[in-house]
């Protein structure tokens, strides 16, 4: 051993400590330590905390390495230690992501979030944003339905990596009901077959008074606050709340009778004569209540803007609706829209047989 090798430097000792932390993290990941933790969430937080410790120490080691070299035996080379630790960290971080707890609480009703989607340039961006919200919602089952004959690898991989409990379905819209390239998106109803496919899955797989939960139509282009999921969870029949940026207004919402607290009308500017002039994001349905009404579904054969009224007319009347969001005075969901990207340069490349995203999933 070189002179001074018996007195290991603080740099090397720190590397050894970090290596022990990595080993401890591996043991926790594989449940080898008998730690008294109250829940899956706590175990997950403990893993994340240890990962953060490793990251901080690795960064510190790297900064020390830049200040000067240390005469150590080859086996304790800081560069080799750091490289090995980074590889170990990457592996453990991947294990933590793949073992993310499902956030299941047996005392909470399940939210069945139904999301129709279709292939387009912004699809992955939209679904990624939505999934990062849904990851934070306990007891959520994501039912995603592609407008396609077969499931796409893009959606399948996104769902697999999300850590969310999910069901992946497909339902291709009939050709006569598909929007043409330059046709306005309001010309034909969208998501009808996809939502009905999800509703049929619920009918086939859940039972009245056995499965506690609510159904919510979570389109992939909306923006959601976590509060909206807390609000809907105890829905008895059909609950309602305001939706921001909907129907040409800053907020479209039910109007309540100050004496009874029941819905007496609607703050709606677009076709206010509709039986239920609200947005698809503005209501939730109790699962058992829904299962008792097999006729409740969407239809291609209704006027523009009447899809919500079509399903709700089978399930409730306006005076039976359950107001949420602090008596409909708070906004927890917004009907946002993603601007269609301008891809003329991409089209010019395509004409030459080229793609800017060749070999990449965007």
Q: Quote the CA–CA distance of 264 and 283 in Å, as a whole number.
A: 16
In contact, 281 and 243? CB cutoff 8 Å = yes
Which contacts qualify for 52-57: CB closer than 8 Å, 24 or more apart? 53/21, 54/18, 54/21, 54/22, 54/25, 54/85, 54/89, 54/92, 55/89, 57/14, 57/17, 57/18, 57/21
3-state secondary structure (DSSP) of residue 165? strand
Does 234 belong to an annotated binding site?
A: no
pLDDT (0 to 100) of residue 181: 66
In contact, 215 and 288? CB cutoff 8 Å = no
pLDDT (0 to 100) of residue 73: 43
Does 147 belong to an annotated binding site?
A: yes
In contact, 244 and 251? CB cutoff 8 Å = yes
C-alpha distances in Å from residue 199, one per residue of 11, 115, 191, 192, 357? 60, 11, 12, 11, 36
Using alpha carbons only, give the angle 279, 284, 285 rounded to the nearest 5 degrees: 130
pLDDT (0 to 100) of residue 105: 85
Does 14 belong to an annotated binding site?
A: no
Q: Quote the CA–CA distance of 114 and 74 in Å, as a whole number.
A: 57
In sequence order, the 6+-apart residues with CB closer than 8 A to the CB of 246 are: 252, 279, 281, 282, 334, 335
Answer yes or no: CATH 2.70.98.10 is held by domain 110-334.
no
Closest listed residue to residue 361, CA positions, set 153, 80, 150, 218:
153
Closest listed residue to residue 217, CA positions, set 290, 163, 132:
290
Does 338 belong to an annotated binding site?
A: no
Lookup result for tokens 């070999």: 359
Q: Quote the CA–CA distance of 298 and 193 in Å, as a whole number.
A: 8
Does 190 belong to an annotated binding site?
A: yes
Of 308, 310, 339, 361, the active-site residue reads: 308
Does 326 belong to an annotated binding site?
A: no
pLDDT (0 to 100) of residue 308: 97
Using alpha carbons only, give the angle 122, 306, 114 rounded to the nearest 5 degrees: 45
Q: Quote the CA–CA distance of 198 and 116 in Å, as a whole number.
A: 9
pLDDT (0 to 100) of residue 68: 47
Q: What is the pLDDT along the chain (362 residues), one digit of tens a residue?
A: 444 444 445 555 555 555 555 555 555 545 544 444 445 555 565 666 666 676 666 666 665 555 444 444 445 567 767 777 777 776 666 555 544 555 678 889 999 999 999 999 999 999 999 999 999 999 999 999 999 999 999 999 999 999 999 999 999 998 887 776 666 666 677 899 999 999 999 999 999 989 999 999 999 999 999 999 999 999 999 999 999 999 999 999 999 999 999 999 999 999 999 999 999 999 999 999 999 999 999 999 999 999 999 999 999 999 999 999 999 999 999 999 888 888 899 899 899 899 999 889 88
Per-residue b or e along 125-138, where b marks 16 or more CB atoms closer than 10 Å to that residue's CB: ebbebbbebbeebb
Does 348 belong to an annotated binding site?
A: no
pLDDT (0 to 100) of residue 8: 46
Q: Quote the CA–CA distance of 179 and 184 in Å, as a whole number.
A: 8
Lookup result for tokens 């292939």: 119
Sign of the four-CA dihedral 64, 66, 71, 73: positive
Does pTM surpass 0.75? no
pLDDT (0 to 100) of residue 109: 97
pLDDT (0 to 100) of residue 24: 54
Lay out the sheet containing 165-170: strands in order across. 165-170, 140-146, 110-117, 213-217, 283-286, 238-240, 322-323
Q: Quote the CA–CA distance of 5 and 260 in Å, as a whole number.
A: 82
C-alpha distances in Å from residue 286, one per residue of 234, 237, 263? 8, 5, 18
In contact, 187 and 179? CB cutoff 8 Å = yes
- Respond yes or no: is residue 308 known to be catalytic: yes
Does 220 belong to an annotated binding site?
A: yes
Sign of the four-CA dihedral 46, 47, 51, 57: positive
In contact, 265 and 301? CB cutoff 8 Å = no
pLDDT (0 to 100) of residue 4: 47
Does 335 belong to an annotated binding site?
A: yes
Does 117 belong to an annotated binding site?
A: yes
């Amino acid at each position: 051993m070189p002179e001074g090798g018996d007195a290991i430097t603080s740099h090397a000792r720190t590397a050894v400590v970090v290596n022990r932390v990595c080993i401890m993290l591996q043991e926790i990941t594989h449940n080898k330590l008998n730690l008294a933790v109250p829940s899956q969430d706590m175990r997950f937080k403990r893993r994340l905390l240890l990962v953060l410790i490793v990251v901080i120490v690795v960064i510190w080691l790297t900064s020390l390495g830049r200040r000067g070299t240390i005469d150590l035996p080859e086996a304790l080379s800081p560069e080799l230690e750091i490289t090995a630790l980074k590889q170990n960290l990457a592996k453990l971080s991947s294990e933590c992501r793949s073992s993310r707890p499902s956030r299941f609480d047996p005392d909470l009703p399940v939210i069945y979030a139904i999301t129709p989607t279709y292939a387009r340039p912004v699809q992955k961006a939209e679904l990624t944003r939505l999934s990062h919200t849904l990851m934070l919602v306990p007891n959520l089952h994501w039912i995603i339905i592609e407008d396609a004959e077969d499931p796409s690898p893009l959606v399948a991989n996104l769902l697999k990596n999300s850590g969310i409990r999910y069901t992946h379905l497909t339902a291709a819209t009939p050709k006569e009901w598909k929007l043409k390239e330059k046709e306005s998106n309001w010309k034909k109803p969208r998501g009808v077959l996809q939502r009905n496919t999800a509703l049929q899955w619920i009918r086939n797989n859940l039972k009245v008074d056995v499965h506690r939960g609510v159904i919510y139509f979570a389109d992939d282009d909306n923006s959601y606050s976590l509060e909206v999921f807390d609000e809907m969870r105890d829905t008895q029949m059909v609950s309602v709340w305001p939706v921001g940026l909907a129907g040409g207004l800053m907020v479209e919402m039910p109007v309540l009778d100050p004496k009874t607290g029941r819905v007496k009308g609607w703050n709606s500017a677009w076709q206010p004569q509709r039986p239920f002039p609200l947005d698809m994001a503005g209501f939730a349905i109790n699962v058992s209540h829904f299962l008792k009404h097999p006729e409740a579904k969407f239809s291609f054969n209704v006027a523009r803007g009447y899809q919500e009224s079509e399903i709700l007319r089978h399930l409730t009347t306006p005076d039976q609706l359950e107001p949420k969001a602090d008596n409909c005075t708070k906004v927890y969901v917004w009907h946002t829209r993603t601007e269609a990207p301008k891809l003329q340069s991409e089209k010019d490349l395509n004409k030459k047989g080229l793609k800017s995203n060749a070999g990449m999933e965007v």
